[in-house]
Amino acid sequence: MSPASCRLRAVHRLLLLTVLLACNKASVDSGTQADPEDTGSGTSDRDDDDDDGGCDELSIKVLGEDPPSVGDEWTVYMKCDDAVLTGTSVVRVDPVEMALVYDNVLTWQEAGECLLSVQVGSFKEEEMVTIGE
Ranking 2-11, 54-63, 89-98, 116-125 by mean pLDDT, the lowest is 2-11
- Write out pLDDT tens, residues 3-56: 666 666 766 676 666 666 666 555 445 555 555 554 444 444 444 444 556 789
Q: Residue 29 burial by CB count (10 A; 0-12/13-18/19+): exposed, middle or buried?
A: exposed
List the beta bridge partners of residue 125. 118
> For the whole model, what pTM was predicted?
0.60
- pLDDT of 54 reads 79
Determine the Cα–Cα distance for residues 109 and 71; give it in Å rounded to an integer: 6
- Spans of all domains in the chain: 3-28+55-131
Mean residue pLDDT of the chain comes to 78
Query: pLDDT at position 5, please?
Result: 63
Overall CATH class of domain 3-28+55-131: mainly beta
In this structure, the number of other CB atoms found within 10 A of the CB of residue 68 comes to: 20
| pLDDT for residue 110 is more than 90 | yes
